Amino acid sequence: MAAPILLSPPLAALVSAWAQPLYAAAATAGFAFLFGLGRKDATLAALGAAIGWAVYILAGALSDTASGALFAASVAVGLWSEAVALLRRRPATVYMIAGVIPLVPGGGMYYTMLASNEGNSWKAVELGLQTFSAAFAIAIGMAVASAAARLLEPGLRRRRKGNQLPRL
């Protein structure tokens, strides 16, 4: 039996960081099919989730807080969703809801409730505030992306009248 190949810690972190967006895309594709999206829309939503998770990893390396990284990632998912929605002529929420699934702080919600059930009030409050902060950062990031898209959309529509944007 061959010995397993062990990677050095920096290389293992690189492989892990490279693979995480793929896992986010796979999870999002599963949710997109559950939501009834077609193959093409599910693929685009999964690609948006992979982009969002990659931004989350990069912003996490540059930011001191998880909320800052989640804000940047949700802006990326929101802008991707708005762009794809414009090209596919679909509502942006089709791609936003599926694309933000990997960013949702489900673990934080679980551990908040666990601490609350165990009677550890201070820990529950601390985890609850962190979870609320993360959810708020995601919501604000998507609102910023949507507002930016609404500001840019009239210019794109005027430009598009003469020559149609390609449809994906």
How many domains is the chain built from? 1
Q: Does residue 42 lie in a domain region?
A: yes
Give the model confidence (pLDDT) of 59-69 as tens digits.
Answer: 888 888 888 99
What per-residue confidence (pLDDT) applies to 8? 43
What predicted TM-score, i.e. pTM, was given to this entire model? 0.79
Q: What is the pLDDT of residues 71-126, one digit of tens each?
A: 999 999 999 998 888 888 888 888 888 889 988 888 889 999 999 999 888 999 99
Segment 94-109, tens digit of pLDDT: 888 888 998 888 888 9
Residue 10 domain-assigned (yes or no):
no
What's the domain range around 47?
A: 19-104+142-160
Kindly state the helix (H) or strand (E) to which residue 24 belongs, with its residue range.
helix 9-34
Q: Report if residue 3 sits inside a domain.
A: no
In sequence order, which residues have a C-beta less than 8 Å from that of residue 24 and are 6 or more positions away?
49, 50, 52, 53, 102
Residue 97 lies in a domain: yes
pLDDT on residue 107: 86
Do the domain assignments include residue 90? yes
Asked, for residue 89, whether it belongs to a domain, the answer is yes
Please give the Cα distance from 32 to 6 (Å, whole number). 35
In a domain, 96, yes or no: yes
